[in-house]
Chain A
Amino acid sequence: MVDAAQDQVNFVPPAEVEEVELYHPKSWITKYVFSQDAKVIAIQYSFTAIAIGLVALVLSWLMRLQLGFPETFSFIEAEDYYQFITMHGMIMVIYLLTALFLGGFGNYLIPLMLGARDMVFPYVNMLSYWVYLLAVLVLVASFFVPGGPTGAGWTLYPPQAILSGTPGSDGGIILMLVSLALFIVGFTMGGLNYVVTVLQARTRGMTLMRMPLTIWGIFMATVLALLAFPALFVGAVMMTLDRILGTSFFMPAIVQFGEQMEYGGGSPILFQHLFWFFGHPEVYIVALPAFGIVSDLISVHARRHIFGYRLMVWAIVIIGALSFIVWAHHMYVSGMNPWFGFFFATTTLIIAVPTAIKVYNWVLTLWRADIHLTLPMLFALAFIVAFVNGGITGLFLGNVVVDVPLSDTMFVVAHFHMVMGVAPILVIFGAIYHWYPKMTGRMLNVPMGHFHFWVTFLGSYAIFLPLHYLGFLGVPRRYYEMGDTSFIPDSAQDLNAFVSVIALVVGLAQLVFLFNIGWSMVKGKKSGPNPWRATTLEWQTPETPPGHGNFGEALPVVYRWAYAYGLPGAKEDFVPQNLPPDQVMAEGGEDLGAPAAQPAE
């Protein structure tokens, strides 16, 4: 094969991807509403996810008002507080983060970055969005049924989730479970598209190991989601049956208000296993796309190839595989066999190895690079800091002996907000600042962006660092108010008030961001097709924003990996993936046959 290839250095056969018959919209409705174009679906997904995310943001304000200033707001009862927690958690993890990373960025970037015209099953892709929207609407409807939304906590543990003492046990919990089931059905439709598109629809020359890490992250996260969401689906179906038909999958024999209930023989712990078999991979469903995107942001804005590309890919795959055998570290206090605890603690700590490799590689990419402190770069750097912080507290909590006393304290809240709240959301912001010019043809306003970045980044630390400390003091999570607790000093309350004020400020800063998105669409500086001088295919489209079919007449042919920055002797400091080899070198430059000076791994 190598011999044959020698003669063909400058000859590349034309793309052999069959020209798919693109669906051509015939009316305004099929172009912008019931659209089968992945780019439109991506924007629909993103707007829906951000809209429902704003609801969750407001819920977090209400929670912080109650925690910071207890007995001040008469409209927040204990029941309301539980409902706020539950809906905030569920919306943020599933309806915002999962939907935005995979439905939003996945749909937008997979076809564009791989040189495809669209997803492989556009009709199913369209259905995916509409089922997702339906799931969101069912979720919103639960705010308006008698009894309100469920207040069972985002983990929805039975038996309390469906007992009448829990707020929202009438209609709220049923709508919650139905909404989750719908979400999973919708996601599976989208997920099949993302996986099969990555495997089968890459353009000529775009081998697996030439894919940008963004695609690797989204691809692996989708694989995880396809394998993990069924567990939540099974749990949701069984709990719905328990609630509606009176079956006893999860319900033990139980006495409520002095009366023996009809239930008997179910296993509450079974739900915990199902939930966390989904729940832990979910962390990586959110984190892996963030890892991928941040790798690309760092590489582009530091004008340097990513350090250790192969290891980065392998780390993504290994993290994905390991994430399926750590779930019970969420259940150390459920009374499990200590040997299980030992097993799950070990696997949990092993995950730190590939994760640390990724962090080192990001830092080594930055080492002596030409760092441009653009907005995407600022967010990427902030992500590294926040993620390392959240990851290290994860190592604490991964050990059974440390987890048991810290379980159900604010320390856990601080840990998971750092690692899967703040860190991925910083990446989402960075990614929006990075790809907004491609989506709209205009740049986001920089001063507003700086304001948004600094308030968000410093603010998140001001919120979550104190929560670690409160957790050490023993302040429990999920408590409506602390009352008089002898072991918690009064000053803890002052800290809580401080956190609440900052939370309001950080929340308001997001409104500046939203304003920036709207304002820049009209008044933003024109960006041109490739404002960041990046190599990947989405920046090489003939039109900006990319038109229907993405790449005009012919699909691009890929000649190299996505990280050709700063090649010695090249005309520019970046070489687009689809630039033919004979056009790379400046006049009198070296022959391409000589590999550029790049470190071997």
Chain B
Amino acid sequence: MNIFRQLLVKPWLTEQDAALELQDDRTFSLPTPMLGLRVFLIVVMVFFTLMISAFTERRLFSDWHSTPVPWLLWLNTGILVLSSIAMHWAWTNARRERMDGLRLWLSVGGILTLAFLLGQLLAWRELMALGHFASTDPANAFFYMLTAVHGVHLVGGLVAWSRTTAKIRRGSKADDVRLSVELCTVYWHFLLLIWLILFALLLLT
């Protein structure tokens, strides 16, 4: 039953009881961990929305000097897109119970993510070499902070990724890890989306 219709039920009327008894007890027909992840993603989305609104609010002032965006970020963005695709392939393989493909693409996804994080650090080094430190200008501070919090979220994803990888290495069947791989994939796509928004905002300033 639709959640809004559920809120219209008059629970004090006994006539309805039998109809209610037949009702499924879950509000959403999703696996519990998937709902947990979605709720978590909403929290993360609020977190990034607030950071972005702080950033855009500050940008409106006339004394704003944009931070130059290192070209490396384009490469990094490409790598992150590829890692997301690799994770998606891993999930597809998990659904089709092809363990070899799952193993391969899951590893590729993880390695590409590590490459992205390394690339971000190199971009930071490049900026610092040009004298753009976090303390010199609010725009720089926002640049470092936004890239850092995105990176930290990816590192958290890598923890889940490494646990899934370990499970597969210990010989779990595709059935047992399919949900874990799906959760990782959803999380990766979500962080890719966040990154694309952040990157666009950094380029626009």
A199 to B3, CA, bound (A): 10
Q: Is the CB–CB distance between B35 and A199 below 8 Å?
A: yes
A234 to B55, CA, bound (A): 11
- Quick one: closest B residue to A599, CB to CB? B12
Asked if B134 is at the interface (CB within 8 A of a chain A CB), the reply is yes
Map CB proximity to A onto B1-19 as digits: 1 under 8 Å, 0 otherwise: 0010011111111110111
Interface-facing stretch out of A238-246, A396-404, A485-493, A512-520 = A238-246
Q: Contacts A207-B23, A247-B138, A601-B10 known; A230 to B47 CB distance under 8 Å?
A: yes
Q: Contacts A196-B32, A199-B28 known; A560 to B145 CB distance under 8 Å?
A: no
A17 to B32, CA, bound (A): 12
Neighbouring A residues of B149 by C-beta, 8 Å: 237
Q: Contacts A202-B25, A205-B20, A205-B25 known; A249 to B12 CB distance under 8 Å?
A: no
Q: Is the CB–CB distance between A196 and B50 below 8 Å?
A: no
Which of B7, B19, B51 makes the CB contact (< 8 A) with A1? B19
Asked if A262 is at the interface (CB within 8 A of a chain B CB), the reply is yes
Q: Contacts A1-B19, A270-B57, A561-B12 known; A204 to B25 CB distance under 8 Å?
A: yes
Neighbouring A residues of B57 by C-beta, 8 Å: 267, 270
Asked if B196 is at the interface (CB within 8 A of a chain A CB), the reply is no
Q: Is the CB–CB distance between A559 and B21 below 8 Å?
A: yes
A201 to B30, CA, bound (A): 12
A42 CB to closest chain B CB (Å) equals 20
Neighbouring B residues of A238 by C-beta, 8 Å: 54, 145
Map CB proximity to B onto A1-42 as digits: 1 under 8 Å, 0 otherwise: 110111011001101110000000000000000000000000
Interface-facing stretch out of B38-46, B72-80, B163-171, B181-189 = B38-46
Q: Is the CB–CB distance between A203 and B46 below 8 Å?
A: no
A563 to B12, CA, bound (A): 8
Q: Is the CB–CB distance between B17 and A559 below 8 Å?
A: yes
Q: Is the CB–CB distance between B7 and A245 below 8 Å?
A: no
A-B contact pairs, 7 of them (CB 8 A): A191-B43, A199-B26, A205-B21, A207-B9, A265-B63, A314-B7, A559-B21
Asked if A288 is at the interface (CB within 8 A of a chain B CB), the reply is no
Neighbouring A residues of B7 by C-beta, 8 Å: 208-209, 310, 313-314, 317
| Chain B contact residues, CB within 8 Å of chain A | 3, 6-15, 17-28, 30, 32-33, 35-36, 39-40, 42-43, 46-47, 50-51, 54, 57-58, 61, 63, 134-135, 137-138, 141-142, 145, 149
A596 to B141, CA, bound (A): 65
- Which one of A200, A210, A227 has the highest number of Cβ atoms from chain B below 10 Å of its Cβ? A200
Contacting residues of chain A (232-265) with chain B, CB-CB under 8 angstroms = 233-234, 237-238, 241, 245-249, 262, 265
Q: Is the CB–CB distance between B17 and A226 below 8 Å?
A: no
Q: Is the CB–CB distance between A199 and B135 below 8 Å?
A: no
- Quick one: closest B residue to A202, CB to CB? B25
Neighbouring A residues of B35 by C-beta, 8 Å: 196, 199-200
A232 CB to closest chain B CB (Å) equals 10
A159 to B23, CA, bound (A): 55
Which of B12, B18, B27, B46 makes the CB contact (< 8 A) with A200? B27
Q: Is the CB–CB distance between A233 and B47 below 8 Å?
A: yes
Q: Contacts A210-B11, A248-B135 known; A241 to B141 CB distance under 8 Å?
A: yes
- Quick one: closest A residue to B11, CB to CB? A561
Neighbouring A residues of B145 by C-beta, 8 Å: 237-238, 241, 247, 249
Q: Contacts A192-B36, A245-B134 known; A5 to B25 CB distance under 8 Å?
A: no
Neighbouring B residues of A230 by C-beta, 8 Å: 43, 46-47, 50
A561 to B20, CA, bound (A): 11
Number of interface residues of A (CB under 8 A): 71
- Quick one: closest B residue to A229, CB to CB? B43
A241 to B63, CA, bound (A): 21
Asked if A121 is at the interface (CB within 8 A of a chain B CB), the reply is yes
A15 to B22, CA, bound (A): 10
A262 to B15, CA, bound (A): 72
A578 to B42, CA, bound (A): 35
A2 to B12, CA, bound (A): 17
Ranked 6 nearest A-B pairs via Cβ? A247-B141, A246-B135, A561-B11, A230-B47, A5-B18, A5-B19
Neighbouring A residues of B39 by C-beta, 8 Å: 192, 195-196, 226
Neighbouring B residues of A249 by C-beta, 8 Å: 54, 58, 138, 141-142, 145
A12 to B20, CA, bound (A): 10
- Quick one: closest B residue to A563, CB to CB? B12
A221 CB to closest chain B CB (Å) equals 15
B187 CB to closest chain A CB (Å) equals 14
B201 CB to closest chain A CB (Å) equals 16
A299 to B132, CA, bound (A): 63
Which of B17, B20, B50 makes the CB contact (< 8 A) with A581? B17
A238 to B146, CA, bound (A): 11
B50 CB to closest chain A CB (Å) equals 5
Q: Contacts A200-B35, A234-B51, A237-B149 known; A595 to B137 CB distance under 8 Å?
A: no
Q: Is the CB–CB distance between A6 and B27 below 8 Å?
A: no
Given contacts A204-B25, A227-B43, list 20 more A-B pairs with CB under 8 A: A1-B22, A5-B19, A15-B25, A16-B24, A192-B39, A192-B43, A196-B32, A207-B11, A210-B11, A226-B42, A227-B46, A230-B50, A238-B54, A245-B135, A247-B141, A248-B135, A249-B142, A270-B57, A274-B54, A560-B14
A274 to B52, CA, bound (A): 12
B104 CB to closest chain A CB (Å) equals 30
A265 to B178, CA, bound (A): 49
Neighbouring B residues of A277 by C-beta, 8 Å: 50
Q: Is the CB–CB distance between B11 and A247 below 8 Å?
A: no
Neighbouring A residues of B24 by C-beta, 8 Å: 16
Q: Is the CB–CB distance between B12 and A305 below 8 Å?
A: yes
Neighbouring A residues of B8 by C-beta, 8 Å: 310
Q: Is the CB–CB distance between B50 and A274 below 8 Å?
A: yes
Which of A4, A199, A206, A210 makes the CB contact (< 8 A) with B22? A4
A305 to B11, CA, bound (A): 11
Neighbouring A residues of B63 by C-beta, 8 Å: 265
Neighbouring A residues of B142 by C-beta, 8 Å: 249
Neighbouring A residues of B50 by C-beta, 8 Å: 230-231, 234, 274, 277
Q: Is the CB–CB distance between B46 and A121 below 8 Å?
A: no
Neighbouring B residues of A191 by C-beta, 8 Å: 43
Neighbouring B residues of A601 by C-beta, 8 Å: 10
Neighbouring B residues of A310 by C-beta, 8 Å: 7-8, 10-11
Neighbouring B residues of A563 by C-beta, 8 Å: 12
Neighbouring B residues of A196 by C-beta, 8 Å: 32, 35-36, 39
Q: Is the CB–CB distance between B14 and A210 below 8 Å?
A: no
Q: Is the CB–CB distance between A12 and B138 below 8 Å?
A: no
B10 CB to closest chain A CB (Å) equals 7
Q: Is the CB–CB distance between A595 and B13 below 8 Å?
A: yes
Asked if A72 is at the interface (CB within 8 A of a chain B CB), the reply is no
A209 CB to closest chain B CB (Å) equals 4
Q: Is the CB–CB distance between A207 and B22 below 8 Å?
A: no
- Quick one: closest B residue to A567, CB to CB? B14
A422 to B39, CA, bound (A): 32
